Structure 1
Amino acid sequence: MIQTTDLRGSHPTHADLLDLVPRARTDVSVVADAAAQLVAGVRERGADALRDQAERFDGVRTETFRVPAEAIATAVDELDPLVREALEESIVRVTAGSRAQIPASTVTRPADGAVIEQRWQPVSRAGVYVPGGKAVYPSSVVMNVVPAQVAGVGSIAVVSPAQREFGGGVHPVILGAAGLLGVDEVYAMGGAGAIGALAYGVPEIGLEPVQVITGPGNNFVAAAKQLVRGQVGIDAVAGATEILVIADSSADPTLVAVDLISQAEHDEEAAAVLVTDSEELVLAVRRELERLVPLTMSSSRVAVALDGRQSALVIVDDMAAAVAFSNAYGPEHLEIQTRDDEAVLAEITSAGAVFVGASTPVSLGDYLAGSNHVLPTGGQARFSSGLGAYTFLRPQQIVRYGPSALAEVADRLVALSRAELLPAHGEAVAARIVRP
């Protein structure tokens, strides 16, 4: 089942912990060449390359890529009522959470007549990738589209792999989610080729290039996003999902076990980690995993993920050591289930999202918490953040100086320009100064 790592009695440094934390061997670089060929094919051959790729990877040859507006409307009408209600509530909550991420414009006045305005400008067009492989992700439509809309992005294109089961179209639940959000530009295309199509456009099917691409995907999608970065902005190069639970002897082992399983069901490479100072909890969680894994629908996938090198039950000396381990790991999802959750939270520096208390499972954040579930993986939470409205915004500084404010700094500016052997910089200022 799952490995146990005992770190009691050791005193690893932060650098040691970076080597000790369990990680999957997944590396998008191994598919980079293949992804590059797929992206290049779309740039060179457009829709024909996309058709060939759909036939090769999705088992269906797509003739028309853009989903008709009528099909989107029908998908909305045919949503299961409870699913529709859940999606609508998710939209409301994620909208509220995303609005809090919009920075306020500010004005700084370094001197009389000198003004620097900080404003935030949305990109004009964004592309959202929604996976369509082992699971269906209408929630990812919400998590990617809502922040873009809140940021003020005026044009959004959604792409998702063609489904043989649905005649080469997009999965109807994904279409329904897009329709609820008012998105009418949806394309049946997937993989690295779809990322290339979003980045460079495909004029023959009316797909214009975007400025930012967001959304999760497999290694080919991640590699393609890495390849087109620079042509467009991207949210992140994401890997398999992760959960790390910090718990002590007060935690309920059943709740810890079901939360580890909930993320392990995503993918065989998914990481599920418990860090605790209680050997008794480790033994109890192991027993619960052995009991519960066979009962879940995705038991075979969960078993592979839990048995992988990326998953572990880790025993440490105390909560301080648990926090140090977690901060070195930088988990995508961090749960805290301890006697003093707030004290533990106060020491956390690196996590994509933190779920505090036994009543706050990661699953809540995946769907209806109001937070965003597109989060950094593979330790990237140590230096980057999850998706938000700010992903689609660019800070711009607007500078306004009057004649007297410019004159006040002119001599010093000229001196600096000469020191840098760039005298024309100073001359451009001097030409504006009216001398007596």
Structure 2
Amino acid sequence: MKTIIYDQTMDLDKILKRNEDVRDDIRNAVLEIIKGVKTDGDAALLYYTKALDHCELTHLQVTEEEIQEAFDSVSESLLEIIREAAGNIRSFHEKQLETTWTYEPKPGVVLGQHITPIERVGLYVPGGKATYPSTVLMDSIPALVAGVQSLVMVTPPGKDGKVNPAILAAAKIAGVHEIYKIGGAQAIAALAYGTETIKPVNKIVGPGNIYVATAKKEVFGKVDIDMIAGPSEVLIIADKNANPVYAAADLLSQAEHDEMAMPIFVTTSEDLAKQVIEKVYRQINEDLGRKEIAKKSMDDFGFVFIVKDLDEAFELSNKIAPEHLELLIENPMDSLEKVRNAGAIFMGAYTPEPLGDYFAGPNHTLPTSGTAKFSSPLGVYDFIKKSSILSYDQNSLKNVYEKIAAFARSEGLDAHAKAVERRFEN
């Protein structure tokens, strides 16, 4: 971890830079895969699954029998945890529901907004380095709460042609409608353009590796996407009384995600900073299953900033706009208004980041790489469309049609003007 005495004039973009630019060879490979799926459909999916995932499939869709077999193989204790987490996530997201509304600014005029769900949504669930049933819950439940009628999940199979049982169990508990055992850029292409087996969707959500993220970027416009997710990050603001063991553990909970994950510790206490660094490397060497990943993340992208006071700490945090922000300070609620840019805010010593990853209810699909400056966590609002409602009666239009015509002609649009004038020619 690198220790830095914070200076307001620092170029943080340069200090914190991770090489997240897409290489030309990756983009070209993704474009070739997309072209192949558009041209050859299912045959391309089977080819790329064999070539890239080393799995020869006989069918793409996960059958009800496969789902039930997987469900039965998961321990009842884990199923109960998944059910409880799903309930918490559903309860939270139900509070985000929007409904159609209208108002009458004057007699004869009705204006408003009509709320409808997106009809068909694709959900990408990663495989590879780790499996994430929590992602299934976080990305599917808001869509279902919004009223999405067709929720389609894609996830890469193992070499045995099977999908991780916990992922299928989570999908069954959440209520996912269709599941296909494909991954990578080819899965994104199939969702966007459709194949003989998979009908195209209107929106794609869910995290993935650089090939998945690049494919999402390339198909955007044909379909909507949630975000281009970068490596995970956590920023902890701590005062001198914070527990260094807790802080170190929370930094490592992000570091184990990915070699490019970014754990950042910001404190007013140099002594605490030294303790946290010591605890981080001690905990790495205890019993972490992904210690090599966590250590590389800490070595390459771990930062400790020493600030003069908490105001400066919040200023630094707002410049970084972290995905996860933990406040290990006294009375954190009193400082909430100082937070302008963060994906999720964890308040106090007993609200660690994994609570949000798995169980509490707020969504763990969050803006990364500074995009919390202009975007929000995944929510019900990502799965709805808003249509404007306008209704004028004859007298209401008569009162304003000349103004509309004049405005239209000021823009050189005579047909616009005549469209209102013709209604009152007689």
Using structure 2 for the length normalisation, give the TM-score: 0.97
The residue aligned with 1:191 is: 184
Distance 1:39 1:421 in 2: 43
Q: 1:403 deviation in Å?
A: 0.5
Gaps in structure 1 of 5+ consecutive residues: none
The answer (yes or no) to whether the contact 1:118–1:396 under 8 Å persists in 2 is yes
* Secondary structure in structure 2 of the residue aligned to 1:334: strand
Equivalent residue for 2:235, pick from 217, 231, 244:
244
Q: Which residue of 2 aligns with 1:134?
A: 129
- The partner residue of 2:195 within 202, 216, 227 is 202
Within 2, Cα distance between the matches of 1:29 and 1:341? 41
TM-score, with normalisation over the residues of structure 1?
0.95
Match of 1:301 among 289, 293, 309: 293
Q: Aligned pair 1:394/2:389, yes or no?
A: no
- Change over 3 Å in CA distance of 1:109–1:38 after alignment to 2: same
Q: Which runs of 5+ in 2 are unaligned?
A: none
Specify the code of the residue in structure 2 equivalent to 1:325.
L
Q: What's the counterpart of residue 160 of structure 1?
A: 155
Question: Are the equivalent residues in 1 in contact too, given 2:150–2:177 (CA < 8 A)?
Answer: no
Matched-pair contact (CA < 8 Å) for 1:21–1:325: no
The letter for the 1-side match of 2:402 is D
Aligned amino acid, residue 301 of structure 1: I
Number of the residue aligned with 2:335? 344
The farther-off stretch of 34-43 and 376-385 is 34-43
CA contact (8 A) 1:242 1:377 kept: yes
Cα displacement string for residues 147-176 of structure 1 (whole angstroms, at most 9, x for unaligned residues): 000000000110000111xx2121111111
Maintained 8 Å contact 2:344/2:366: yes
Which deviations, in whole Å up to 9, do the C-alpha atoms of 1:118-138 show, x marking residues without a partner? Answer: 122111000000000111101
Residue 184 of structure 1: how far off its partner (Å): 4.1
Q: Deviations over 1:259-302 (max 9, x none)?
A: 00011111111110011111011100011012100121111110
Match of 1:326, SS state, is helix
What's the CA shift string for 1:318-341, capped at 9, x where partnerless?
Answer: 111111111111111110011231
Aligned to 1:98: 93
Residue number in structure 1 paired with 2:64:
69
**What do residues 355-410 of structure 1 show as CA deviations (whole Å, max 9, x unaligned)?**
11111011000000101111111111111111111111111111111001111111
1:306-385 matched pairs, under 5 angstroms:
306-308=298-300, 310-385=301-376
Whichever residue aligns with residue 285 of structure 1, its letter is V
Asked if structure 2 preserves the Cα contact closer than 8 Å seen for 1:69 and 1:184, the reply is no
CA RMSD of aligned residues (A): 1.4
Q: Are residues 287 and 18 of structure 1, via their aligned partners in 2, closer, same or farther at CA, if it must alter by over 3 Å? A: closer
The letter for the 2-side match of 1:402 is D
Q: Provide the secondary structure at the position in 2 that maps to 1:35.
A: helix
One-letter amino acid of the structure 2 residue matched with residue 3 of structure 1 = K
Equivalent residues in 2 for 1:43-54, closer than 5 Å: 43-54=38-49
Structure 1 residue ranges (4+ consecutive) displaced by more than 4 angstroms after TM superposition: none
For residues 220 and 197 of structure 1, what CA distance do their matches in structure 2 show?
14
Cα displacement (A) at 1:26: 2.1
CA shift in 2, pair 1:254/1:360, >3 Å: same
Instruction: Please tell me the residue identity of whatever aligns with 2:190.
Output: A
Instruction: Determine if contact 1:138/1:177 at 8 Å carries over to the other structure.
Output: yes
Residue 172 of structure 2 is matched in structure 1 by 179
Aligned length: 424
User: Which amino acid counterpart does residue 11 of structure 1 have in structure 2?
Assistant: Q
Deviation at 1:313, TM superposition (A): 0.8
Structure 2 residue 17 is the aligned partner of structure 1 residue 23: yes
SS of the residue corresponding to residue 405 of structure 2 reads: helix
Correspondence 1:410-425 to 2 at 5 A? 410-425=401-416
The answer to which of 48-57 and 367-376 deviates more is 48-57
| Residues 200 and 209 in structure 1, CA contact (< 8 A), matched pair in contact too | yes
Letter aligned with residue 172 of structure 2: G
SS of equivalent to 1:28? coil
> Do residues 11 (structure 1) and 4 (structure 2) align?
no
Aligned residue in 2 for 1:148: 143
Contact 2:98–2:115 (Cα < 8 Å) also in 1? yes
CA separation in 1, counterparts of 2:223 and 2:424?
41
Check if 1:123 corresponds to 2:118.
yes
Q: Which letter maps to 2:295?
A: A
Query: Which secondary structure state, in structure 2, belongs to the residue aligned with residue 243 of structure 1?
Result: strand
Q: Secondary structure at the match of 1:432?
A: helix
Identity %: 39
Shift of 1:20: 5.2
> Mean Cα displacement is larger for which, 403-412 or 43-52?
43-52
Q: Which residues in structure 2 correspond to 1:28-47 (within 5 Å)?
A: 28-30=22-24, 31-47=26-42
Q: Which amino acid aligns with 2:396?
A: A
